[in-house]
Amino acid sequence: MEIVAQRPKSLRDVQFTYCPGCLHGVAHRLIAETMDEYGIRDNTMGIAPVGCSVFAYKFFDCDMAQAAHGRAPAVATGMKRARPDMVVFAYQGDGDLAAIGTAEIVHAANRGENITVFFVNNAIYGMTGGQMAPTTLPNMKTTTSPYGRDVNDIGYPIRVSELLNTLEAPYYIERVSLLSVPDTIKAKQAVKKALKYNIEGKGFTFVEFISTCPTNWGIDPNKSKDWAKENMLPYFKLGCFRDKEKDNGGK
């Protein structure tokens, strides 16, 4: 018997335009399922970035806005302050968030804005041609580092979750993986927790997804997951870096 997964109501009935094997669709589904479960679709505003997920507004069936490259946290801040009754989230890639958008994410987190940021880390620029990103691993080859990332010249990859965890204000920060079914189930729990705290007005919440980019990595989609497990997870270690509710005994 064929089992067909039901599409979440918070996702439009349109085909994703992501490359084969891309995990953006998985992340989208986790967020949409959670919106359905909490019944917040009609009271949610999402901010789409510049990057592979630039057309996220075509996929999420909720109010959406488009931000300039890297500026999603700033737009989300304005939306939330203008409409504090709404649940506001930003959805960003590593080139978008960790390069041109570094100031926006750091200062939104430092202010403790009551928004949720979903951050997809696949260690490379996707839509714009496979260039080296701030998260590109040491010695990893890209179109702008054809001989591999030289940390003596370019510096080391930025661990965004750890960076934000140095700030006082963020309420919840966790890094999860989309590389296997068990990991994806755990990722769903992180999404639910981040949006729960958002709904409750607890403050800034942040979920980092470790993902893949088979097209720009030049690796078969299935093998790309193995590559990410072997190379990305040792550098970008999974785990919860901040959960103030847990730290405060559920308060």
Rg (C-alpha) for the chain, rounded Å, is 17
- Flag whether pLDDT at 1 surpasses 80: no
| Burial of residue 123, with CB atoms counted within 10 A of its CB: 0-12 exposed, 13-18 middle, 19 or more buried | buried
Prediction pTM value: 0.95
Residue 114 has pLDDT above 60, yes or no: yes
Instruction: Average the pLDDT over 197-201 and give the result.
Output: 98
Query: Which is nearest to 24 in space by CA: 219, 196, 221?
Result: 221
Q: What structural domains does the chain harbor?
A: 24-247 (3.40.50.970)
The mean pLDDT value of the chain amounts to 94
Confidence check: pLDDT of 110 > 60: yes
Cβ proximity of 95 and 114 under 8 Å: no
Q: What is the band of 29 on the pLDDT scale with cuts at 50, 70, 90? A: very high
Q: 10 near 45, Cβ under 8 Å?
A: no
Q: Regarding predicted confidence, which is higher, 240 or 49? A: 240
Give the DSSP per-residue string, 18-47.
SPTT-SHHHHHHHHHHHHHHHT-GGGEEEE
Q: How confident is the model at residue 216 (pLDDT cuts 50, 70, 90)?
A: very high
Note the pLDDT of residue 74.
97
Q: In this structure, what is the dihedral angle of CA atoms 132, 142, 55, 15, given to the nearest 10 degrees?
A: -150
* pLDDT value for 126: 86
Spatial distance between the Cα atoms of 147 and 153, rounded to a whole number of angstroms: 12
3-state SS string for 192-204: HHHHHHHHCCCCC
Is a pLDDT exceeding 60 seen at residue 4? no
* Of the candidate ranges 19-23, 178-182, 191-195, 226-230, the one whose mean pLDDT is the lowest: 19-23
Question: What confidence tier does 3 reach under pLDDT thresholds 50, 70, 90?
Answer: low
Q: For the chain, what percent of residues have pLDDT higher than 90? A: 89
State the pairing for strand pair 239-243/172-177.
antiparallel
**How high is the pLDDT of residue 99?**
94
> What is the average pLDDT across 180-203?
98
Residue 250 pLDDT grade (very low, low, confident, very high; cuts 50, 70, 90): low
What is the distance between the alpha carbons of residues 29 and 72, in angstroms, rounded to a whole number? 20
